[in-house]
């Protein structure tokens, strides 16, 4: 999913800074519990001000670093970033459509929900559809 989303963003770059939490769903709904509290907290902080240190991967003598991607820099501070949950309701051999749902919209839907999960229909009705 991350590779597909990166390719989408390289073709359709956002006009402003955005932060994302990506979720793939292989059923008809996303359990609200799949979005962890620390993820919600970080997305909300991204809208106001959020510092994050990128972890340096360990490197040992003789280690194959082929799968260790180089970090672009050490850390960043996001200010007034738009924050989203990006969900892919995966269906084999179907068109790839992601839904970009604002974190505050997700929290509103979770608060109003009578069930323990977000359905594909609710997500599609409240988010922006991204066709890959």
Residue 57: pLDDT band with limits 50, 70, 90: confident
Please give the average per-residue pLDDT across 116-125, as a whole number.
97
Do β-strands 18-25 and 82-89 pair in parallel, antiparallel, or remain unpaired?
parallel
For residue 59, is pLDDT > 70? Answer: no
Question: What pLDDT does 64 receive?
Answer: 65
Is the pLDDT at 63 greater than 70, yes or no?
Answer: no
Q: How far apart are CA 79 and CA 126, in angstroms?
A: 25
Q: Report whether pLDDT(4) > 80.
A: yes
Nearest to 12 by CA among 98, 101, 109: 98
Handedness of CA 59, 64, 67, 72 (dihedral sign): positive
22 phi and psi, to 5 degrees? -100, 135
Q: Does the predicted model carry a pTM greater than 0.85?
A: yes
What is the per-residue pLDDT for 70?
74
pLDDT at 24: 97
Report yes or no: 8 and 18 within 8 Å, Cβ to Cβ. Answer: no
């Amino acid at each position: 999913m991350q590779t597909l989303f990166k390719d989408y963003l390289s073709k359709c770059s956002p006009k402003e800074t955005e932060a994302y939490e990506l979720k793939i769903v292989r059923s008809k709904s996303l359990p609200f519990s799949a979005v962890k509290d620390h993820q919600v907290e970080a997305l909300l902080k991204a809208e106001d001000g959020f510092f994050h240190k990128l972890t340096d991967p360990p490197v040992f003598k003789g280690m194959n670093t082929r799968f260790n991607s180089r970090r672009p820099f050490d850390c960043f501070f996001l200010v007034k970033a738009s924050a989203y949950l990006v969900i892919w309701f995966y269906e084999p051999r179907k068109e790839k459509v992601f839904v970009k749902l604002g974190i505050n919209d997700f929290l509103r839907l979770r608060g109003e929900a009578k069930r323990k999960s977000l359905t594909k229909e609710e997500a599609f009705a409240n988010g922006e559809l991204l066709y890959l």
